[in-house]
Every structure is written in structure tokens, then in C-alpha cells.
Amino acid sequence: MADPAHPHAPDRFSEDAATFTVKGGTPDIELGLAAIRNTLATLGPQPGVYRMHDAQDAILYVGKAKSLKSRVPSYTQVSRLPRRLQRMVAQTRGMTVVVTNSEAEALLLEAQLIKRFRPPFNVLLRDDKSFPFIALDESHGFPRLAKHRGTRREKTLYYGPFASAGSVNTTLNALQKLFLLRSCTDSFMANRSRPCLLHQIRRCSAPCVDRVTPEAYGELVSDAKAFLSGRSQQVQKKLGDQMQAAAEARDYELAAVFRDRLRALTYIQGTQAINAETDALDADIIALATREGVACIQIFFIRGGQNWGHRAIFPAHAGGVPEAEILTAFLGQFYAELTPAKTLLLDRALTEAELLSEALSSRAGCKVSLKTPVRGHLKKLVDQASRNAAQAIDRRLAESATQTRNVEALADLFALDAPPQRIEIYDNSHVMGTNALGAMVVAGPEGFRKGAYRKFNMKPGDVTPGDDFGMMTAMLTRRFARLEPSARGRHHEPDVSDIDKDGGDWPDLLLIDGGKGQVSAVVSALAALGVADVPIIGVSKGPDRNAGRETFHHPDGREFTLPPNDPLLFFLQRLRDEAHRFAIGAHRQKRAKAMTSSTLDDVPGIGPARKKALLMHFGTARAVKGASLQDLQKAPGISQSTAEALHAHFHPQA
């Protein structure tokens, strides 16, 4: 399938493809054609996947073919190629080919390689985050209901995917009211002597203290499975019958319990149901919209007639690519790791629909159908997804226009030579000098570049604990020490450049969260590295640390403020706040990890098994540290040499 070129590829070409040259005096397109022709002699009629490499062996493009011998020669017909592929051929200096057993297998391998290598001439999914699920863990006698991401475990049922963590949390809150299943961990449950707060607010049946029998709890689990599998009407009828029976028996307190559970069921049905005609629908509804070089794919997750959320996804490198090819590339990559629904409702027919169905079916372990409804309620659902995709593009373009205006205004405000294409914002975070780290956030005309964010851990001895100026100096030193002089003025496309992720792009502006002292520390650090031409601005909170009264500091000591309602002030606050958010979040993760660490973690040769054996034998890490050599040798699983190494680590002078 054809894919767009990297929009910032360092190439130029004339209307005549034969005179195509690569900037910098490197060989023209004939070298690329020669590299492809050298590979043709080794190709057969089998299906497979091919990769184009440049002179540095970086992967430019990944493609698949039903017949490699028939597909690859098309790249040698330069006059018939779109310009984006002409640029790709001009950069090609080698090819790698993998033969597969079928075209469907080739499609799956192609998607995996694209996600792994992120080549600049393929359509790419920018958002690579995993989707959350609801997990019902049946490994315990009293199954647990909880949110889950990541690797699947045995003896656990998974329901999803959900579009966001918010969708899962909303559903879990309603399920707790409806089925009263526990959400606590096994260890928490095992150590309870009385019911927790969730039981008091009627969101748990308290199996931890035997407030519910195993049989009654098992019935709740069966009802939860039925509901999550789409049989909500069955559960509703059962609760209604139980409420009626309790009322007839004049057990009004029990009837009220069933009434509250029915209310929870009605609520979740009302917030998640699509319409009355789709009670048994299991489908992913997918629609594509493009405008001004921007593509948006809107996807709705429908399971058992319940809407488990939707998400707008903006593929990279989609400019100039036919819409059908964008959608085909999306389906291959999106379902590379995520299990598809049994039915995919698309807003358009695809030429490779049968191939995609075969490939996705092999991945899902069941038949996956691709359908394009033309009438009825399913067509209304697809139309709804199409409207959402178009509206998401409108919002994206409006935000992009606003961001561009803000960046241009920033250049005027700080007297820059041109609007900054890469803005780096720096902040520190620590608590009384502990778990200290620095954070770098990157932004540009297109918004925040989260793939380029970086954390700088401050190790013991790097800086004096609590020295904010020293932390800033260490962070900027490490950041600019990685840059080469040739990187000046270099700006790669956001989200896809490995160089950018490693910090190899030169910034046009540095925003420092702090005042004169922080700015002076940054200037001194850069001067020591021979860097003197990067604009630096400090942002301090001002009097009483009130937002809206920020003071901006130049390296030469000049200061100024902006009016409280100035849109540019709001933009700068958002940049500063994003750096603060990222720094605080990274610090909290580091602090949480430190809480579960042990002094034994730093001992060479002590892995998880030996660490557990030592703690089980001595009780605490402090007791291990104070133990004699003879006592260490008595611990199970600890050899004499390990005991000696352990004792020497804690008693170096002994």
C-alpha cells in the first residue's frame, strides 16, 4: 500500500524524476533504483514483507506483497510513482525481504514492523497507549472485579476494550453498586477483621468477613458475567423478580436493596446503551475524515449493545495518501495487539477487506467480519462516528491555528529571529532534597511533543540535596552535552523522530520555571559548554505566587509582566504548568518506587529469590544488615560466598 513521505525529509526534486537529487550532494535516484534492482534477482512469487533502508541502515518504509516478484519492481517505474515515493526511492540504499506463508501473515508482520520501527514513509498511529479493560479475576474463591492494563493473566476474564480510564472507572462504580463484588487485593482481603468503607456505602458484599456466603457471592459473579456479556435484560428481570418477592414477603429492607441495584442497572444502561435496536451488538464502529492534510479516525467500542467509549486517533504521515489506504493501514496497526470485535462497521468499503478479515480472524481466534452498512440503524451508528471524526478535525485545526498564533506572538514578545519550532521547558521536583529529578517538556507549533519529554534523575553525589540551582545546572549540562554542533537549527517531525526522542534536536527557546537564580544557573551551565546563542527566559510566580502575576526574566536582568487577561500569558502558563505536571508526576513515581525498595536491592548477587529468603529468615532488611557472617550463612539458599559478599557490602571495614 502506498504511504506518504516524511514531510520534512531533507530532499529536493525537479519535475523530471531523472534529475532528482538529494540535498547535500549525495547520489541521485539512480542509486536507489540500483539498490532495488539488486534485490529483484532474489525475489520469487511468494508473499512477504520488504523493508527499504537508507545509507545509515535506518528503515524508510515497510510494505507487504501478495507476490514479492510482482510488487517490488513497481518502485523502479519512477515516472509512475507519486512524489513521496520518489523521495523514498532516492534515499533507498538497500532492502530486506521476509517471505511469509500467506498474504494475511504478511499483513500482520507488516503491522508489527511498522509499530516497531516507525518508518517515516508509512502511515503511523501517534497514540500507542494501551486500552484499559475490566478484569474478573477468578483465581480466588471470591472473584475480584478491577481495572486492568497490560499482559493478561490466567484464570481471568477480560471485558473491553474501553476507550479511556474514565470510561472504565464510571462502569466499575456502577458495577460495584449493582453486583457488590469486591475490588480489593487478595492480601488486603485476607487481613480484614471488619468490613471496609465500600461495604458501608453498599458497594461491596464484604466476603472478607463472611457477610455473604460463597454460594450467594457466586450468584453475584454469574450476574456480573451475564451483564458484561450483553445479557443485561436477563439481569434486570431477575432483580425485578427478587424485589417483587421481597416486597410480597414484607421484607422491605431487602426490597430496597434490590431497588437500589435496579437503579444502578438502569443508570448504566442509560449511559452506555446505543439504542434499543442494538442490545446484542458486538462491534467496533470506525469512520475516517480528512481535511487540509489532517486525518482523523473515530472508533466506538460497542459490546453487548453497550457503548464502552470512543476515541479520536490522528495518524501521522497521512497527508496526500488516499483515504482507503489510510484506513487499511490503521486497521492493520491498531489491531496488531488489540483483539478486534467480531464485527467491524466501516464507513467505506476497502479493496483489501477480505484480506484484513482473514488476518484479523487469525489474530482474534474467531471470524471477524468487515461490513459497510448502507441503511438502517447500523448506518446511523456509522454516520454518528463520521460526524464525530469531522468535528474532531475541526477542533484539531482550530487548536493548531491558535497554537501557531501563540508561537508567532512568542517570537515578537521575546524578540526571536523567527517563531520557535522547538520550545523546551524545564522544572525540578523533590521533597526536602529526596527523590530529586529534573524534567524537560517540549512544545512547538503543533502542540506538546510528548515523545520528546525527558526525565533527569539526580543521583546521590550529583548535587547537594535541596539545591535547586545545582539541579538545574546538572540537568542542562546533561541535556546539552548530548547535542552536536551540527544539530543547530535541526527540527525533526514530532512523534516519529528517534533523534528527537533522544534529545538530538536543537531548541529555539528555553523556558525555565524559576527566577533570576535559576536563569543564572542555566546561563552558567550553557556557557561552560560553549553555548551562548539559545534564548533563555525564566518564569516566576511573582508576588504571593499568584497565577496571573508571573514575572518573566531575561538573562541580562531585565524583567517584565503581561496583563492578567493576555492570551499569550495563558499560553505561557500552560507551557509552565505542563512542565510542572510532568515533573511532579515523575517525582511521585520515583518516590512510590523508593517506598517499596530495600537496602538489599543494592547488594550485588542478591536477586528476588535470595532477597525473599533473607527477609523470611531475618524478618527485616535492618536485621540482615546487622547480622554476623555466621548468621548469614545459616539463612536458607545463601551460600558461603554469597554470605561473605553480603557481609562485606554492609561491613566494608570488617
CATH of 423-592, one of 3.90.1150.10, 3.30.2420.10, 3.30.420.340, 3.40.50.1000: 3.30.420.340
pLDDT of residue 485: 54
Please determine whether the domains at 278-394 and 423-592 fall in the same fold group of CATH.
yes
Question: Identity (one letter) of the amino acid at 596?
Answer: T
Q: Could you tell me where the DSSP H helices lie in 335-421?
A: 353-364, 376-413
* 93-115 tens-digit pLDDT: 999 999 999 898 898 899 889 88
Lowest mean pLDDT among 9-18, 188-197, 393-402, 507-516: 9-18
**How many CA atoms lie within 13 Å of 650's alpha carbon, on the beta-carbon side?**
19
Cell of 132: 484499559
User: pLDDT band for position 12 (50/70/90)?
Assistant: very low
pTM for the full model?
0.68
Q: Parse the chain into domains and list their residue ranges.
A: 11-122, 133-272, 278-394, 423-592, 599-650
In CATH, 278-394 is 3.30.420.340: yes
Report whether 507 contacts 424 (CB < 8 A): yes
Architecture of the domain whose range is 599-650: Orthogonal Bundle (1.10)
Cell of 566: 493576555
Termini Cα distance of the chain:
69
Report whether 453 contacts 439 (CB < 8 A): yes
pLDDT of residue 25: 34
Pairing of the two strands 551-553 and 536-540: antiparallel
Please state whether 305 falls in left (phi above 0), alpha (psi between -120 and 50) or beta: left
> How many angstroms separate the CA atoms of 186 and 427, rounded?
39
* 14-30 tens-digit pLDDT: 333 333 443 333 456 88
> How many angstroms separate the CA atoms of 385 and 378, rounded?
11
pLDDT of residue 22: 39
Contacts of 365 (CB under 8 A, 6+ apart): none
* 415-457 tens-digit pLDDT: 888 899 999 999 888 766 677 888 899 998 888 888 889 988 8
Architecture of the domain whose range is 11-122: 3-Layer(aba) Sandwich (3.40)
**Residue 579 scores a pLDDT above 80:** yes
SS3 122: coil
